[in-house]
Amino acid sequence: MIAKYLGDTDTLYLEFRDSKVAETRDLDEQTLLDYDADGRLVGITIEHAKNRVGGPEIELQRIEA
């Protein structure tokens, strides 16, 4: 997974797989979901990220099953 923060537009993009986006769906007015041709989630765009998720700081915690 790759997290990208674009400070000039205050947009956070979470990329789950390196696939071509075939369809984008609106979850709400400020959240977009990208899917590949097989219907798998490719990424999530969160607009106005600072107000919605608390800023560009990201902590990754890996939990092994």
Chain-wide mean pLDDT for the chain?
A: 89
pLDDT for position 60 = 65
Kindly report the backbone phi and psi dihedral angles of residue 29, in degrees, each rounded to the nearest multiple of 5, phi listed first: -65, -20
Residue 63 falls within a domain, yes or no? no
- The radius of gyration computed from the CA coordinates of the chain, to the nearest angstrom, equals 13
Residue 64: is its pLDDT beyond 70?
yes
pLDDT for position 56 = 59
User: Which residues constitute the domain of residue 44?
Assistant: 2-53
Residue 52 contacts by C-beta under 8 Å, 6 or more apart in sequence? 30, 46
User: Domains in the chain: how many in total?
Assistant: 1
Q: What is the pLDDT of residues 14-40, one digit of tens each?
A: 999 999 999 999 999 999 999 999 999
**Best CA proximity match to 50, nearest among 16, 9, 22, 19:** 9
Residue 6 falls within a domain, yes or no? yes
Residue 60 falls within a domain, yes or no? no
Tell me how far apart the alpha carbons of residues 39 and 6 are, in angstroms, rounded to a whole number.
Answer: 26
Residue 1: is its pLDDT beyond 70?
yes
Residue 65 falls within a domain, yes or no? no
